[in-house]
């Protein structure tokens, strides 16, 4: 009985690859969100995320069936970026174009202050939703 216990592989490599996949996907989604905030192209980013969410997610799920290697979790994370950026880009569609002037009038003059007073309250729940999605996809891989 004891020799059979060594035949089962430990779950640590799967856990590590799931965390790598979740971290890469969430990092790319946050980068996309930062670019959307900087360029103010939330409508186009939302449309692109909607167009690519189903094929990219299906590709991320089916990728381990055809490709093996150490880079698969990184590719899966990149392919999950549209799914994870969709909740982050959605509230940005309703932000007005003159948000910088409004933020300055309310006292948020520096970039860290705007992040703390304007962007974090707006994106807190969508970020947590993306985090849960990333961890679920990492656990189900």
CA 30 – CA 122 distance, rounded (Å): 14
pLDDT at 78: 93
pLDDT at 104: 78
Residue 61, in any domain of the structure: yes
Could you list the residue range(s) of the whole structural domain that residue 30 is in?
12-140
Residue 126, in any domain of the structure: yes
Across 36-59, b (16+ Cβ under 10 Å) vs e yields bbeeeebeebbeebeebbeebbee
Residue 115, in any domain of the structure: yes
- pLDDT reading at 87 higher than 70: yes
What is the value of pTM for the model shown?
0.79
pLDDT in tens, 92-114: 888 777 777 777 787 878 888 88
Residues 12-26, mean pLDDT to the nearest whole number = 84
Our count of domains for the chain comes to: 1
Residue 86, in any domain of the structure: yes
Residue 122, in any domain of the structure: yes
Three-state secondary structure readout of 51-96: HHHHHHHHHHHHHHHHCCCCCHHHHHHHHCHHHHHHHHHHHHHHCC
Residue 1, in any domain of the structure: no
Residues 53-63, mean pLDDT to the nearest whole number = 91
Residue 7, in any domain of the structure: no
Residue 6, in any domain of the structure: no
């Amino acid at each position: 009985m004891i020799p059979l216990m060594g035949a089962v592989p430990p779950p640590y490599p799967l856990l590590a690859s799931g965390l790598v996949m979740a971290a890469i996907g969430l990092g790319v989604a946050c980068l996309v969100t930062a670019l959307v905030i900087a360029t103010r192209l939330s409508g186009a980013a939302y449309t692109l995320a909607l167009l690519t969410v189903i094929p990219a997610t299906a590709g991320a799920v089916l990728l381990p069936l055809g490709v093996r290697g150490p880079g698969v979790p990184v590719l899966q994370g990149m392919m999950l970026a549209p799914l994870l950026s969709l909740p982050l880009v959605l509230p940005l569609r309703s932000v007005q174009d003159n948000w910088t002037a409004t933020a300055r009038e309310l006292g948020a003059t520096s970039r860290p202050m705007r992040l703390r007073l304007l962007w974090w309250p707006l994106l807190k729940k969508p970020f947590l939703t993306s985090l849960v999605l990333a961890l679920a996809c990492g656990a189900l891989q």
